[in-house]
Structure 1
Amino acid sequence: MSTTEDRWFHRQGELARDGWESVVDASLPGWEHTGIRIADLTDGDTMDLADRGVERIIVPLAGTFRIVHHHHPGEWHTRLHGRSSVFDGPTDVLYLGAGTTAAITGEGRVAVAEARTTEHRPWKYIPPQETPVELRGAGRSSRQVHNFGTPQALDAVRLIVCEVITPAENWSSYPPHKHDENKPGDESRLEEIYYFESAPARLEGNPDAADGAFGMFSAYSSPAGNIDINARVGTGDIALVPFGYHGPAVAAPGYDLYYLNVMAGPDPERAWLISDDPAHAWVRQTWDGQEFDSRLPYTHDDKKGIRR
């Protein structure tokens, strides 16, 4: 691995702290605006969220959770019904504004996306049916995006969060793009976290191959800074993108790829504005006329008890 890859790419568990499997926050050198926490909970476990200087979105990855959150004028209890896995369609999520403390209990795997701010927004429970589901790209660039924490869907201060499902053999985060310059109306400055999971392909995968599931992820330098990530990624791995072009994220044959994106930055406007790498921007034009991948969207059919 290169020096920059060591700094900006972390395997599952390398950022473990205080009972969390992974913690990304401003204590990491060169990191300032965003954070993420990942935990596996069993019955009886409690994970505390004590920092009042962040806004958060609590995202069930797999399982069901209970959140006790404290903020003026009292205490609330919210149940997150969750889902079986990240490949089972959208989940319900909970947004908590700055000034809030909380405790998470339950069973399963949970993510907490964070952005530093002292400005307050009201808390909000978002059921899965209120999550905008976007089918993006075409052909082998088809992917499914859950936009529960984007500016169009949620009134937050800094935090921008979404999750992306890329079926086996498809490419996402492509063409490579960046958001590391303040160009009003064209590009915004945003740190970005990629948290990955991978599993045998939904329709044709072999469940016994789960331990070997993987994809690939790349990030490279722009005028704003030097970064070099070319990594095989699997469940629990985290890539940090402080600047530079990033993409593609590629799902290997036989394995679906998921990632949770957490973004925030210093610009006064909360906006996701990107610039494609000029060398590859033309690829978007090739999607015209291509059919969208018929395997998507991935949803959960409660009546039939099947996933598709």
Structure 2
Amino acid sequence: MSDWFVPAGSATGDGYETRISPGREGWSYTGLWTARLDAGESRTIPCGDCEWIALPLSGSYRVDAVVNGQEHHVELTGRDHVLAGPTDLAFIPRDSEFTVTATTAGTIALPHAKARTAYPFAYLAATDVPVELRGAGQASRQVQNFGTPGVLEADSLIACEVITPAGNWSSYPPHKHDTERDGIESELEEIYYFEMRVEDTPTGRDAAHFAKPFGYQRVYGTDDQPIDVLEEVRSGDIVLVPHGWHGPAMAPTGYDMYYLNVMAGPGEKRAWLICDDPAHAWVRGTWDDQQVDGRLPLHDH
């Protein structure tokens, strides 16, 4: 097992099912906590030197924040599950404190990243989340850009959700963002948090009570920065990408794949610029005469 693979349940603490933070060995800028809460249950988070997003994976929540002595209160409608479409969310700046309280049972994700500047508290409605269909054919996927530059104001945190229908590949061609090159490539760590589901078809629904959904994730390095990850992933698993080429993320036939990406790095400019592996970049050209997978989008938006 790779050091960069974090199986579900192996990074818990203080009431969180997932607790990855900056300062972990070999890890400097990004974090992700998840908590499964019953209705009425809450968690209080001091932001410290990180900026945070309260992102419902399932369930509904109230967020109460204190930012520079000013109180903010928002209700997050949330969603039934991660494949039900985008969710609304709250952004909380560094040097603040916030409490998340479940109004219905569910799981809340708390992506965060080191921040130099405190940006304003913000609420983003689900209808304001851009949904992008990328690729074509078996490389078709759905990207929900809730926390990307141009959508959400932040100092360093970049985040999005990707849905890959059963049988498809995403994060493909393999690409990297580990070197700061102005206008070409950003230096960004990246977290992949996975959830897998049996596809929503008559056969899939019949199998849902006994099937064990899974997928695969690949990360590989360069001569200067080696890394070698090829892991079977299931719901709640995490793959950390400190550097190197990453992709594909593979959804086997029968199993839809969801992942939450959390990114940040040391650069002064908040940008998400990638560089394809030259050995595989040509694959993009094969999409020109293919259609986007007709199953997408997997929700009504």
The CA distance in 1 between the partners of 2:210 and 2:96, in whole Å, is 37
Aligned residues: 297
Q: Once the 2 structures are TM-superposed, how far is the Cα of residue 267 of structure 1 from its aligned partner?
A: 1.0
Whether the 8 Å CA contact 2:142–2:296 is kept in 1: the answer is yes
1:169 equivalent in alignment to 2:167: yes
Long gaps (5+) in structure 1:
302-308
Shift of the 42–211 alpha-carbon distance from structure 1 to 2, 3 Å rule, reads farther
1:288 equivalent in alignment to 2:284: no
Q: Give the alignment's TM-score, normalised by structure 2.
A: 0.95
Tell me the SS of whatever aligns to 1:282: helix
1:153 equivalent in alignment to 2:151: yes
1:129 equivalent in alignment to 2:142: no
Q: Which amino acid aligns with 1:182?
A: E
Q: Which amino acid aligns with 1:34?
A: T
Tell me the SS of whatever aligns to 2:284: helix
The CA distance in 2 between the partners of 1:71 and 1:211, in whole Å, is 45
Shift of the 118–167 alpha-carbon distance from structure 1 to 2, 3 Å rule, reads same
The CA distance in 2 between the partners of 1:203 and 1:19, in whole Å, is 35
Shift of the 210–156 alpha-carbon distance from structure 1 to 2, 3 Å rule, reads farther
Q: Once the 2 structures are TM-superposed, how far is the Cα of residue 167 of structure 1 from its aligned partner?
A: 0.4
The CA distance in 1 between the partners of 2:49 and 2:34, in whole Å, is 19
Shift of the 54–221 alpha-carbon distance from structure 1 to 2, 3 Å rule, reads same
The CA distance in 1 between the partners of 2:239 and 2:211, in whole Å, is 20
Shift of the 70–297 alpha-carbon distance from structure 1 to 2, 3 Å rule, reads same
Whether the 8 Å CA contact 1:223–1:244 is kept in 2: the answer is no
Q: Once the 2 structures are TM-superposed, how far is the Cα of residue 28 of structure 1 from its aligned partner?
A: 1.1
The equivalent of 2:59 in structure 1 is: 63
Whether the 8 Å CA contact 1:199–1:210 is kept in 2: the answer is no
Q: List aligned pairs for 1:208-223, cutoff 5 A.
A: 208-209=208-209, 212-223=212-223
Q: Which amino acid aligns with 1:241?
A: V
Q: Give the alignment's TM-score, normalised by structure 1.
A: 0.93
Which of 69, 89, 102 is the equivalent residue of 2:85?
89
The equivalent of 1:245 in structure 2 is: 245
The equivalent of 2:99 in structure 1 is: 103
Q: Once the 2 structures are TM-superposed, how far is the Cα of residue 292 of structure 1 from its aligned partner?
A: 0.7
RMSD, aligned CA: 1.4
Whether the 8 Å CA contact 2:198–2:211 is kept in 1: the answer is no
Shift of the 73–48 alpha-carbon distance from structure 1 to 2, 3 Å rule, reads closer
Q: Once the 2 structures are TM-superposed, how far is the Cα of residue 224 of structure 1 from its aligned partner?
A: 4.8
Tell me the SS of whatever aligns to 1:266: coil
